[in-house]
Structure 1
Amino acid sequence: MALDIALSSIPPLESSDFGSAGRSAAVAPTPDGAAGFAEALKGMAENAVTNVKGAEQLSLKALSGEADIREVTDAVMSAEQSLQAAIAIRDKIVTAFLEVSRMQI
């Protein structure tokens, strides 16, 4: 379930997003792909923060009577999903790091 939430928060790729080698044109290609992964994580984190801030602002507007309860509920649910996805990804990264650190050389 957490993986479904994490995958649903990833925006779809457009054909214009790729260079001639099939890598993202916005990120400088590296042999190990680390920059692409870091940029993807950064983008997902920024998206989660934006969703949470937007939900907070809409909640404050609802308190003053400027926003509909349905809009607030949708924004808060979206922010919750983004936050759960970020937490699930963080947990997977920590688990992977711990597994790699336990490997014997």
Structure 2
Amino acid sequence: MLDALTSVSLRGTAATAGPSAAGTASTRAVAEGDFSNILADISGQAISSLKGAETTAISGIQGKASVQQVVQTIMAAEETLQTALAVRDKVVAAYQEISRLAI
């Protein structure tokens, strides 16, 4: 998830730096993507993080994963969920602000 957010910040850097300092192909690919694709990618990464934490927790219950590994993945999933909720709150607030604009 943080990789996608870093890519978003690199998008502005590549646009202002010019073609000589354009960077890698991944930066160019992100620059060509639109906002909905970026949000879809970030939400997909968040879902995979939560599913990975669930899988690790089940492995921990079965005795296949250590307690430390379970706690680390659960904490990472919790952080991902909190980030996703914060982004959702900002999107909803922006939508409400736009809906209040006089036409």
Deviation per residue, 1:15-51 (Å, 9 max, x gap): 32233xxxxx267x4xxxxx52111111110111011
Q: Which has the higher helix share?
A: 2
Distance between the aligned counterparts of 1:18 and 1:80, measured in 2? Answer: 28
Following superposition, the deviation at residue 100 of structure 1 comes to: 0.4
Structure 2 unaligned segments of length 5 or more: list them.
11-22
Distance between the aligned counterparts of 1:10 and 1:67, measured in 2? Answer: 25
Answer 1 or 2: higher relative contact order, Cα 8 Å, separation at least 6. Answer: 1
TM-score by length of 2: 0.75
Task: Kindly report which structure 2 residues correspond to 1:7-46, keeping only aligned pairs within 5 A, or say none.
Answer: 9-11=1-3, 12-13=6-7, 15-16=23-24, 17-19=26-28, 25=29, 29=32, 36-46=34-44
TM-score by length of 1: 0.73
Distance between the aligned counterparts of 1:83 and 1:57, measured in 2? Answer: 16
Match of 2:58 in 1: 60
Give the % identical residues: 31
RMSD of aligned C-alpha atoms?
A: 1.8
Aligned pair count reads 86
Structure 1 unaligned segments of length 5 or more: list them.
1-8, 20-24, 30-34
